[in-house]
């Protein structure tokens, strides 16, 4: 495991949390880092940092990140996701909205209007050491990792996703087995 790279990513996660807090913007970790914050420790190397943020906060978040030295990257349509890089670490913010029923949905791109897993944003923050961050629920994380090859035809299930699903299910079982 590349400890220097992980340490840099953790520092940037903490910085992003502080920027979002100062701006009054909500962000949630998703992907591998959400899993690690749920588990409470770094389980593997991560290529990037994946986030969710509200589409209504996109311009405010962009200004805050640009002001702290993040560089914008080209990527999916701006209404779907924002991509940045700082110190060689990429951060992607998938944008969220709500439909008429109040469900959390994809805002832009080819899947606009598709509903994200129920309860995805309703989980306690995760933690690694002293660093605390909002995360998507482990159940939503499992569903997203399990369903991505179905939702995105042609994208095969990655080995790391299958391993992450196993880690999350194990961590959930261990929490369920704890005495109250």
Whether 150 shows a pLDDT value over 60: the answer reads no
Considering the domain boundaries, does residue 161 fall inside one? no
Reported in sequence order, the residue ranges of 43-88 that DSSP labels E, i.e. its strands, are 49-54, 71-73, 81-86
Over residues 104-116, the pLDDT tens digits come to 999 988 889 999 9
Considering the domain boundaries, does residue 73 fall inside one? yes
At a CB cut-off of 8 Å and minimum separation 6, what does 45 contact? Answer: 1, 2, 5, 6
* Domain total of the chain: 1
Over residues 1-46, the pLDDT tens digits come to 678 989 999 999 999 999 999 999 999 999 999 999 999 999 999 9
State the Cα–Cα distance between residues 128 and 60, nearest whole angstrom.
27
Beta bridge partners of 50: 30, 92
Mean pLDDT of the region 162-177: 88
pLDDT score of 70 = 97
Considering the domain boundaries, does residue 117 fall inside one? yes
Least confident of 36-45, 47-56, 127-136, 146-155: 146-155
Write out the residue range of the structural domain in which residue 35 sits: 3-137
pLDDT score of 79 = 85
State the Cα–Cα distance between residues 62 and 13, nearest whole angstrom.
15
State the Cα–Cα distance between residues 89 and 70, nearest whole angstrom.
9
Mean pLDDT of the region 122-130: 96
Considering the domain boundaries, does residue 118 fall inside one? yes
Whether 128 shows a pLDDT value over 80: the answer reads yes
Considering the domain boundaries, does residue 150 fall inside one? no
**Mean pLDDT over all residues of the chain?**
91
Considering the domain boundaries, does residue 21 fall inside one? yes
pLDDT score of 177 = 73
Whether 102 shows a pLDDT value over 60: the answer reads yes
Counted residue by residue, the chain has a size of: 180
pTM here is 0.90
Considering the domain boundaries, does residue 180 fall inside one? no
Considering the domain boundaries, does residue 17 fall inside one? yes
**CATH number for position 12:** 3.30.460.40
Q: Where do we find the tokens 């159940």?
A: 139
């Amino acid at each position: 495991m590349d400890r220097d790279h992980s340490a840099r990513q953790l520092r940037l996660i903490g910085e992003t949390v502080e920027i979002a807090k100062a701006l009054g913007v909500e962000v949630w970790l998703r992907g591998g880092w959400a899993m690690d914050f749920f588990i409470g420790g770094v389980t593997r190397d991560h290529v990037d940092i994946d986030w969710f943020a509200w589409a209504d906060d996109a311009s405010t978040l962009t200004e805050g990140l640009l002001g702290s030295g993040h560089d914008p990257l080209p990527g999916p349509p701006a209404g779907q996701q924002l991509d940045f890089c700082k110190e060689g670490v990429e951060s992607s913010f998938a944008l969220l909205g709500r439909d008429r029923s109040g469900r959390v949905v994809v805002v832009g791109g080819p899947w606009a209007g598709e509903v994200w897993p129920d309860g995805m944003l309703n989980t306690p923050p995760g933690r690694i050491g002293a660093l605390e961050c909002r995360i998507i629920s482990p159940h939503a994380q499992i569903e997203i990792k399990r369903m991505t090859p179905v939702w995105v035809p042609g994208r095969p299930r990655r080995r790391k996703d299958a391993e992450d699903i196993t880690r999350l299910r194990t961590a959930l079982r261990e929490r369920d087995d704890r005495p109250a």
